[in-house]
Amino acid sequence: MDVSTLSKGLDTIWVVLTAAMILLMEGGFALLEAGFVRQKNAVSIIMKVFVDITFGALIFYFIGFGLMYGKDAGGLIGTSGFLLNGDLSHVVVNISHETYWLFQCAFVIAVISIVSGAVAERIHFRAYILYAIAMTGLIYPIAGHWVWSVGGWIGKLGMIDFAGSAVIHALGGFAALAAAIFIGPRIGKFTPDGKSNIVPPSNLPLASVGAFILWFGWFGFNSGSTLSATNGSIGHIAVTTMLSAAAGGAMCILFTMFRYQKADPPMVINGSLAGLVGITAGCAFVSDAAAITIGIVCGIAMVLVTEFMESKGIDDPVGAFAVHGVSGSLGTLAVGLFAMPELTKGVGQGYYGLFYGGGLKLLGVQALGLVVVSVWGFVLSWATLSLIKRIMPVRVSKDEELVGLDVGIHGVPAYNQDHDFLDLEQLKNGR
């Protein structure tokens, strides 16, 4: 066996394994969100995650991959690669195009899962399916083409987004914000005078396990983006990922102890996730100290933005925007500050961070790309939901919301409490 064949084989194994780690994150999303919402809506969360991974994979295979990585047309859109057919000669990787699709498929599934938590407990299942199709087949692939494809106009400007703080998390976070505003708060979440009522999570241990699974999967998310098992930066990427997540969680422990006189478990869980989101863009290009700084800033910002959202009457049950939209934005901009010249050689236009003497070039490009991707995610999500509303209800009925989506929409509770038989009509009527 020659060296080239061995290298391709090793890279294929690496990419398939890290893709599987990212797909396992769907289990993390399911447990995290099921733990954060009320028990009567746990099944509905699981069903939306199944929509993400089933419809998301198929639509990305049929349409999304071609729009994202197909032959470029004016820096705006891909025109080949649908069903993995056609001209993909410009996609130069040391793995098969099928393997590359699998890895990118795991990314698109993660994007739509960000939105599912923001609309938990009140979006109609059929409407969510249509929205998931639009996100995985159009909204995310086109934004991804602009930044990551050969010829994408933002990528040509020199934007650096190694594993997706902007393309995945900022886009998904701002899409989640649009969806949360569009669909409105849960019944009883806010009083008539605008005061926020606390909706206790149903199962914090479950949510914690979900967060740990997401944390584990993130090593595949970031390190796997090398697409090579022999890339010397894998270890550094894993370390910056770990440090930023730890710093985000630790800061939330200290910050909430200071702010609320007790460590707030949901905030601490989301603080670690915020650190993970924040480091995703620059994990390969910043120092360990910068990774810790990014985690600290993202953790504090997540708490403050969560409070701000509540004060403005925006109901986001799992904190999707504060974790993904805000931390993704901060992480994208942080690259423009902390990217080290020795780590960015041959990347983009060769720009590096302001704090290392690189001037404002990279920071400006990062800011431009962030704004474009975030606005795209928000506006297209709002437009998609508006179109869906013309076809069918986007929100469940009042009765369905009050009894819970598990029984009201899916016809089964999450826990049967040892009943041998279930009378769905009695369940719906609260008996």
pLDDT band (50, 70, 90) for residue 99? very high
Whether residue 428 lies inside any domain: the answer is no
User: Does pLDDT of 424 surpass 60?
Assistant: no
Whether residue 73 lies inside any domain: the answer is yes
Token couple for 210: 């979900």
pLDDT band (50, 70, 90) for residue 194? confident
pLDDT band (50, 70, 90) for residue 428? low
Whether residue 188 lies inside any domain: the answer is yes
Distances (CA, A) of 132 to 52, 108, 345, 363: 7, 10, 37, 32
pLDDT (tens digit per residue) in 216-268? 999 999 999 999 999 999 999 999 999 999 999 999 999 999 999 999 999 99
Q: Cβ distance 403 to 118 under 8 Å?
A: no
**What one-character-per-residue DSSP string does 212-239 give?**
HHHHHHHHHHHHGGG--TT-TTHHHHHH
Whether residue 126 lies inside any domain: the answer is yes
Residue corresponding to tokens 């609320």: 260
Task: Please choose, from the candidates 335, 352, 354, the residue with its C-alpha nearest in 3D space to the C-alpha of residue 170.
Answer: 335
Whether residue 421 lies inside any domain: the answer is no
Whether residue 423 lies inside any domain: the answer is no
Look up the domain containing 27 and give its range: 3-410
Task: For the chain, give the percent of residues with pLDDT over 90.
Answer: 93
What is the pLDDT, as a whole number, of residue 173? 98
d(CA 166, CA 373): 7
Whether residue 175 lies inside any domain: the answer is yes
pLDDT (tens digit per residue) in 205-217? 999 999 999 999 9
pLDDT band (50, 70, 90) for residue 51? very high
Task: Please choose, from the candidates 246, 277, 258, the residue with its C-alpha nearest in 3D space to the C-alpha of residue 174.
Answer: 277
The SS3 assignment for 291 reads helix
Provide the mean pLDDT of the chain. 95
Domain count, the chain: 1
Whether residue 74 lies inside any domain: the answer is yes
The domain spanning residue 153 has which CATH number? 1.10.3430.10
